[in-house]
Amino acid sequence: MSVDAERSKKETRGAIENRAVIYRYIFEELEEELGRERAVEVMRRAIYKRGVAHGQEKYLAAAQEGDFDAVGELFVGGSAAEGELFSPAVEHADRHGVDLSMKGCPLVDAWKAMGLSDEEVDLMCRIAAAVDEGTFDGAGLRVTFKERLGEPGGHACLLEIRRP
């Protein structure tokens, strides 16, 4: 791998970790102003909106065709740094849906590095997961998290994608 590719991957990881830190600081400020429940609601709603736009741009055509193999390929093929940061995979795809996994997450890594408790990492992960919920809703699909890497004992993010 070239030095430039390695540098690019390192910079991408740093940018994603920085996003995690920003999410946390925004959450802390919102929590102080609005309380925990409202802060979670506002953060999830804003992050979800970004996901909807992304899902319409990236996944809508494949979803409308019912091509879950393509949805999986787009998910894995579009992962940052050639997949090295999130380690995405298609676990199963058929005409009914696709099951996806991510075995790495720079966001979770950053929250742990910040010293957040397992419960706080789980909360931040649940907030950040709104982007995936919005992404697949925006494509006219439904996502169910079977597991999240940031939850206590989580080993991966396991996403079940189906038609609503």
pLDDT value at position 136? 98
Q: What is the mean pLDDT of residues 15-20?
A: 97
pLDDT value at position 4? 87
User: Could you tell me which residues are beta bridge partners of residue 102?
Assistant: 88, 157
Rounded CA separation 136/74 (Å) = 12
pLDDT value at position 2? 63
Q: What CATH number is associated with residue 89?
A: 3.30.1380.20
Residue 113 has pLDDT above 90, yes or no: yes
**H-only helix segments in 83-149:** 106-113, 118-128, 130-138
CA nearest neighbour of 100 among 91, 108, 113, 109: 91
- Total domains, the chain: 1
Rounded CA separation 9/7 (Å) = 5
pLDDT value at position 3? 67
Predicted model pTM: 0.93
pLDDT value at position 1? 52
Q: What is the mean pLDDT of residues 49-56?
A: 98
Q: 140 lies in which domain range?
A: 3-162
Q: What is the mean pLDDT of residues 42-68?
A: 98
